[in-house]
Amino acid sequence: MATSQAKFLRRIIGVFLIILPIVAMALIYQLWPELASKQIWKECTSLFGFNVCISAEKRVILLVILSGFLGSYVHITTSFSNFVGNEKFEASWMWWYILRPLVGMTLALIFYLVFRGGLFAGGTSAADLNLYGVLTIAALSGLFSDRATLKLAEIYDSLFKPEDKREGKLNS
């Protein structure tokens, strides 16, 4: 791992790991809902100087995705700093560092949809959600994406596990 290409790759990943959470946290801050009146969120907000109008439901989805990213960010940054610090960083893992946040963001959204679709009454509005709780679950699903995937599989199996009596079937 002493090649100049590997050192350059370490620096690039390191710089991105410094910039990305700042952007994500700034977006969360900018998207955080303000109350227009009791339990009604303002629809428009300033996003880096631009006036943006977004529904409460879409705002929650964006916040969930960003929280999933931050959870994954903690995971990849911890891994990156440990491997670089121990001089065991391998350039072959570059795609893992790039794709892991996308996995965390996607899992956060899936968890949100599972919980929102199954645990709340159909008429529950975004303003009625405990946003801190929702974003905590989203961030944790990004942080613990391996375990979150196993939990989703467990939920799916308990809801939709068919009794398969076919002979000669492939085992999964």
Per residue in 144-161, pLDDT (tens digit) is: 888 888 887 888 788 777
Kindly tell me the sign of the dihedral angle through the C-alpha atoms of 75, 77, 78, 80. positive
165 is a domain residue: no
Task: Work out the angle between the directed axes of helices 145-160 and 131-143 (0-180°, nearest 10).
Answer: 110
d(CA 33, CA 17): 27
Low-confidence ranges of the chain (pLDDT < 70): 1-2, 36-39, 119-123, 162, 164, 169-172
170 is a domain residue: no
pLDDT of residue 1: 45
Give the H or E element holding residue 44. Answer: strand 44-47
pLDDT of residue 69: 95
d(CA 115, CA 92): 36
* Nearest Cα to Cα of residue 70 among 22, 118, 110: 22
168 is a domain residue: no
pLDDT of residue 123: 66
d(CA 93, CA 115): 32
Instruction: Look up the domain containing 42 and give its range.
Output: 4-160
Q: Whats the size of the chain, residue-wise? A: 172
144 is a domain residue: yes
169 is a domain residue: no
Question: Residues 129, 94: contact at Cβ < 8 Å?
Answer: no
**What count of other Cβ atoms lies within 10 Å of the Cβ of residue 163?**
4
pLDDT of residue 122: 62
* Nearest Cα to Cα of residue 140 among 77, 68, 78, 73: 68
Domain tally, the chain: 1
* Nearest Cα to Cα of residue 140 among 91, 93, 75: 75
92 is a domain residue: yes
167 is a domain residue: no
pLDDT of residue 4: 79
